[in-house]
Amino acid sequence: MTTRDNILITGASSGLGAGMARLFAAQGRNLALCARRLDRLEALKTELEGINPSITVRIKPLDVNDYDQVFQVFHAFHEEMGRLDRIIVNAGLGKGQPLGTGAFHANRQTAETNFVAALAQCEAAMEIFRAQNDGHLVMMSSMSAVRGMRKNINTYAATKAGVASLAEGLRMEMLGKPIKISTIYPGYIRSEINEKVEKAPFIVDTETGCKALVAAIEKEPAKAFVPSWPWRPLGLAMRILPLSWVRRMT
């Protein structure tokens, strides 16, 4: 397996993006980090360079809903670093409300950020990888993508299912080629996106979750449930159980 020396992560200013960046920095990987909050990226850059002074850390502000900016930032990182070996499409929103309760604006924003903006990131990433004829695209989906979910996460789950389908189509296209596509299905990992959720089954802290994410990503799998226990068997069960049973699990 090729060592992925130059890694781009979107949504890197906090949560899982920042957590993964810390672990990749400790491994000696060069990082291209982007997010909306430049002040947090600057603080993270300083922290990462303290973890490993030998690495290169580049940062740029990016609102993934500005699609032109997505292409500009990705290609700018590529030009500055010479190549990009892995791109992790991580930026996303977790807000939403039950359909039909007057919260279309919030649900639309989640749909646009989690799917349309992810599509833009995929387009930009694949332009770079096709030109290099090499690369590893990582799509961050969710365990909620396995089946339709209810209430506040209905739209969120639908977007993550869309992301997984997008990745699978790309993976089919890239079979036998040097470009690898991985779909990651995280279970409940504590981060800013779910900090207000009080009861979440089998939730793990950010550090534990990020270690599991990085370990899975490094294997460059077609798909991975993270952490593997208990989410891999639960994912299989959720696919075949009646909706009434899945409802009790969520």
Residue 1 domain flag: no
Give yes or no: 188 in active site: no
Please give the residue range of the domain that contains residue 229.
6-249
Strand partners, 184: 140, 224
DSSP letter, residue 204: B
* Mean pLDDT for back-to-back runs of 10 residues, the chain (250 residues): 86 95 97 96 97 97 98 98 97 91 95 97 98 98 87 93 97 97 92 59 85 97 91 81 73
Please tell me the total count of domains within the chain.
1
* Catalytic residue (choose from 67, 156, 185, 188): 156
Residue 86 domain flag: yes
Candidates 169, 198, 218; CA nearest to 3 is: 218
Q: State the pLDDT at residue 217.
A: 98
Q: What is the spatial distance between Cα 122 and Cα 126, in angstroms, rounded to a whole number? A: 6
Q: State the pLDDT at residue 245.
A: 74
Q: Which amino acid is at 50?
A: G
Q: State the pLDDT at residue 249.
A: 64
Q: What is the DSSP string of 103-160?
A: -HHHHHHHHIIIIIHHHHHHHHHHHHHHHHT-EEEEEE--GGGSS---GGGHHHHHHH
CATH number at residue 242: 3.40.50.720
Q: State the pLDDT at residue 128.
A: 98
Strand partners, 8: 32, 87
Candidates 115, 155, 146, 169; CA nearest to 233 is: 146
> pTM value?
0.93
Q: State the pLDDT at residue 236.
A: 81
Residue 230 domain flag: yes
